[in-house]
Amino acid sequence: MTYQPQKDFGTPASNASDTVSLSIDGREISVPAGTSVMRAAAELDNNIPKLCATDNVKSFGSCRLCLIEIEGRKGTPASCTTPVEDGMVVKTQTPHLQKLRKGVMELYISDHPLDCLTCSANNDCELQDQAANVGLRDLRYGYEGANHLGEATDTSNPYFDFDPSKCIACSRCVRACDEVQGTFALTMDGRGFASKISAGLPTDDFLSSECVSCGACVEACPTATLQEKAVTEIGKPDRTEITTCAYCGVGCTFRAEMRGEQLVRMVPWKDGKANRGHSCVKGRFAWGYANHQDRITKPMIRESIDQPWREVSWDEALGHAASEIKRIQKKYGRLSVGGITSSRCTNEETFLVQKLVRAGFGNNNVDTCARVCHSPTGYGLNTTFGTSAGTQDFDSVEESDVILVIGANPTDAHPVFASRMKKRLRGIDGKPPAKLIVIDPRRIDLVKSPHIEASHHLPLQPGTNVAVLTAMAHVIVTEGLADEAFIRERCDWDEYAEWAAFVADDRHAPETLEPVTRVPSEELRAAARLFATGGNGAIYYGLGVTEHSQGSSTVMAIANLAMATGNIGRPGVGVNPLRGQNNVQGACDMGSFPHELSGYRHVSDATTRALFEDDWGVPIDSEPGLRIPNMLDAAVDGEFKALYVQGEDILQSDPNTKHVSAGLAAMECVIVHDLFLNETANYAHIFLPGSTFLEKNGTFTNAERRIQLVNKVMTPVNGMEDWEVTQALANAMGLGWRYSHPSEIMDEIARLTPTFAGVNFARLKEAGSLQWPVNEAAPDGSPIMHVDGFVRGKGQFVVTDYVPTDEKTGPRFPLLLTTGRILSHYNVGAQTRRTENTSWHPEDLLEMHPTDAENRGLKDGDWTRLSSRSGETTLRLTVTERVAPGVVYTTFHHPATQANVVTTDFSDWATNCPEYKVTAVQVAASNGPTDWQEEYEELSEQARRIETVEAAE
Amino acid sequence: MNTLDHLVYMANQIARNFGTRDRDAAAEAVAGHILRYWDPRMKRRIIAYVADGAGSDLSDVAALAVSMVAEKAQPDHAATGA
């Protein structure tokens, strides 16, 4: 089928449940009340000509093209702004309407270049289509009058151009920026003939403006005014495939628009239930890494890491890997090897890696990058609710009255969901805005941004989450605001009573804890009252909750708060972990943790083991295996000797880089399976080239537990999808696997995992996506969990005592460093650093409060030395009031900075999730890179050498 | 921190987080946690550390928990790792 853009119904769908019947051009139709006549007609495939209307934004009624006639009414109303009424009789095409439309089009075209044949939007242009639809044949006005032709194109954005001479001033881009993205960067400047789209001040271009490059304006533009550079360069796509983004845990679905095997553009899919037609700069534009020159496409081996890499055949690489693992197990024991699954790979790939470890290596030494991000979520929510996952779908936010965001920065890290949250916080569609509480050491963008202001921002001292949440619980219990009816029905009353007595103690009063948390007690009390009494209360949290020495306690404290206020089990409420990577949820579900099999069942459970043992025909070890930090400890001790790492860069992402490198250096065989020679590969002996999400089939599971298909759109440049590589490695070890498609792996997962019992590729394709559990009790999946009761039976209140971290500030290290992400980059930056996203963020920067900077004689842009008890690095300073005095902040996207040289070994008490968010540091002026940075750069250069083979004569 | 120091630190940290419970209940919880999440060699090392009489860096609750772990751990598995 030839290329078709996704159907545009002109105005948004109505959610009303009552329907209205009307007649359009003699055809009857029933639609929800509140639907526009334009949309009702589009449902009948009667596409009324339009320019300023598009179904992602509210109707505007400015282009005067969508006029209709209604029996018994005077005039020609605009169909986009006219709601349907019972018994309405509509005509969309009459001689009168035709004449009006032609007149309107004449005016538009008289100020529009007629370069259709060479225009980048040729044959994919709504203006062109409408000129055709209204039968425009000639212009009475000529082209000589005043016009906007020949204006300069703004090419500053690396992904799209803005050509004002093709603009028809429909303002769809401005409205998309406002309504969909919520950034309010664009505006319609001037009036009448002088109207023009502006990205901010007259001095601003798109790149320097507040534009976040989400692409909503480009998507909304009906002409070539806002056009992807890739379309300009390549041409119009000719086929599309729906697939799922491989960046963050929001899990946006896209139409990959292709020409042959060349990706032309990624367009957000309007039917995607996670993103509802929206996107961010990463998913929409930052896919160029797939074809980056740094991609390694051939397997490589070397004896030791001081040697250059040698390209070999797949057979040689896999045979060598298998024999090394066998040799090492024979020499050092069965438990001396392990593997790490990737939260960036598919469920099927992750499942195979843990199967390889459990069935092939014969132990449970498998872990995943969730160890360093959301392992406390698994522990905390499993303990309190009985399931290791968030309770809601993203749509739920539309029903929330109070939104509590703690330790998360959604506008940077989960931008598409943030846009949906911001929509609710602006209160459009007649609903009053939801109230917002932000608990974060930094004044994140959500605290105050256009048309949004948090009711309460509690800028706590890093490391005091449990103290703040306990103080909030204190207020709720002592002021009688707890929802006792809910608690009596859903939870164990005795456990609640014990918890309530604990939090009610005076030592947990906000006033008592204020010196520790540094949160003004009155503000905290007001926030607690608002959350308990403000209607539907929803909690959203991120790694600022989990990456602490009390990460698991904080997750349980959040769960306690939700149960105490009755905010579980219906739309608009719940506990919502915002997952970091695209498939963190899935990797955890698939049995990537060393203590549990898929579906969160402990390896000590004989019944579960028997299920797998019967299916796989091998015994499963009943003892938990090593977690990543424990693997590294064991390696330094000489007891852990080989590691297979799929799609994770532990050297850059894990804390205390020096300890990680010591562990890796102590191993005899490190197998890295990745797209690039990442930092971990500096210590590897075998490199297996990986494939991108564009080159594979499978599924990802997002933060809503939503399982979505990933569809292959191009052939893997390395020759194999990642699941095929793992299968080939397993078979080199003699396991005899015979999967011919990932759907067969999913069938095995469904067979062995009760919460996935009803999942298969055919159903996923049919339904678009499914939220687990999908089983007999919930055949269509579970958008909201714990509806009629908690999965574990009764919700469990857990006493969470505040235990301060052992990472203390003092005279040598007086500041607290906390780390995080920025919008344009993703995790260690392996992908985004290989795209034009570096235009926004070429290096990691250190944020510091003006007072702290002045005390140190530092100014904006200075090179500074950041040191902790673990190590030191240098980076440039940004002076900003976003951070409180005493707190500094940086990102960890760039290997040259290696922010994790500075972070420590401290970790969550229950899961060993590292304490990235609290490191005592000192900052001073610097005149150059640290010794570590210089040594590491030298090592990287050495370690990345690839032997060039002389061509045969 | 070397591995043994790290294990001792972890055991004490877990114990501190069950600090609101009485001694026996806290030790029971710590032991349960170690049994559930520590690999056999980690258990073996901390058990040996206590058995050697060198367990003085463990808190009272953590030490009691390790003795409970020693009773419940699978001796064959923990001893050989083979």
Q: Does the pLDDT of residue A934 top 90, yes or no?
A: no
Measured between alpha carbons, how far is A624 from A633 in angstroms, rounded to an integer? 16
Instruction: Phi first, then psi: give them for residue A868, nearest 5 degrees.
Output: -135, -175
A595 → closest Cβ in B36, B74, B77: B36
Structural domains of chain A ordered from first start: 19-133 (3.10.20.740), 300-373+584-771 (3.40.50.740), 375-577 (3.40.228.10), 815-942 (2.40.40.20)
pLDDT value at A940 more than 60: yes
pLDDT at A200 over 90: no
Q: Which amino acid belongs to residue A162?
A: F
Do A706 and A771 touch, CB atoms closer than 8 A? Answer: yes
Query: Which percentage of chain A shows pLDDT scores above 70?
Result: 99
> Span A193-216, mean pLDDT?
92
Quick one: which of A692, A691, A688, A666 has its CA closest to A677?
A688
Report the distance separating Cα B74 and Cα B63, nearest Å.
19
> pLDDT digit string (tens) for A161-175?
999 999 999 999 999
Distance CA A436, CA A433 (A): 9
Residue A102 phi, psi dihedral angles, 5° rounding: -60, -40
Average pLDDT over residues A103-128: 94
Which residues, in sequence order, are CB contacts of B54 under 8 Å at separation 6+?
none
Is 0.85 exceeded by the ipTM?
A: yes
Does the beta-carbon distance from B40 to A630 stay under 8 Å?
no
- Token pair, residue A674, equals 């990745």
pLDDT digits (tens, 9 = 90+) for A760-802: 999 999 999 999 999 999 999 999 999 999 999 999 999 999 9
On chain B, the residues whose CB falls within 8 A of the CB of A604 are: 36
Average confidence (pLDDT) over A181-201 = 92
Instruction: Give yes or no for B44 touching A (CB within 8 A).
Output: no
Average pLDDT, chain A: 94
Q: What is the pLDDT of residues A341-383, one digit of tens each?
A: 999 999 999 999 999 999 999 999 999 988 888 899 999 999 9
- From first to last of its 82 residues, chain B has per-residue pLDDT tens of 788 999 999 999 999 999 999 999 999 999 999 999 999 999 999 999 988 877 689 999 999 999 999 998 765 554 344 3
Range A753-764 average pLDDT: 97
Q: Which residues pair with A164 in a beta bridge?
A: none
What residues of chain A, 576 to 615, have a C-beta less than 8 Å from chain B?
594-595, 602, 604
Q: Does A320 have pLDDT greater than 80?
A: yes
Q: Read off the tokens for A489.
A: 């029905």
Question: Which has more confidence, A933 or A62?
Answer: A62
Contacts of A364 in chain B (CB under 8 A): 39
What one-character DSSP code corresponds to residue A180? I
The yes-or-no verdict on residue A857 having pLDDT over 70 is yes
Q: What is the pLDDT of residue B80?
A: 40
Residue A941's pLDDT is: 87
What's the confidence (pLDDT) of residue A905?
86
Cα gap A250→A268, rounded to integer Å? 13
DSSP string for A636-688: HTT---EEEEES--HHHHSS-HHHHHHHHHT-SEEEEEESS--SGGGG-SEEE
B8 touches chain A (CB under 8 A): no
What residues pair up with A816 in beta bridges, in sequence order? A887, A920
d(CA A713, CA A615): 32
Span A26-76, pLDDT tens digits: 999 999 999 999 999 999 999 999 999 999 999 999 999 999 999 999 999
H or E stretch including A188?
A: strand A187-189
- Phi and psi at residue A401, to the nearest 5°: -105, -35
Structure tokens at A107: 């005016």
**Residue type at B18 in one-letter notation:** F
Which amino acid would we find at residue A176? A
Residue A173, token pair as written in the block:
């881009």
Shortest distance, CA B14 to any CA of chain A (angstroms): 5
Q: What is the pLDDT of residues A581-635, one digit of tens each?
A: 899 999 999 999 999 999 999 999 999 999 999 999 999 999 999 999 999 999 9
Q: Which of A784, A795, A271 is nearest to A572 (CA)?
A: A784
Which H/E stretch holds residue A19? strand A19-24
Please give, rounded to a whole number of angstroms, the shortest distance from the CA of B66 to a CA of chain A: 16
- A593: nearest CA in chain B? B37
> What local confidence, expressed as pLDDT, does residue A883 receive?
92
The residue ranking higher by pLDDT, A291 or A88, is A88
For the segment A75-85, what is each residue's pLDDT rounded down to a tens digit? 999 999 999 99
Interacting residues of A480 by C-beta distance below 8 A, sequence separation 6+ = none
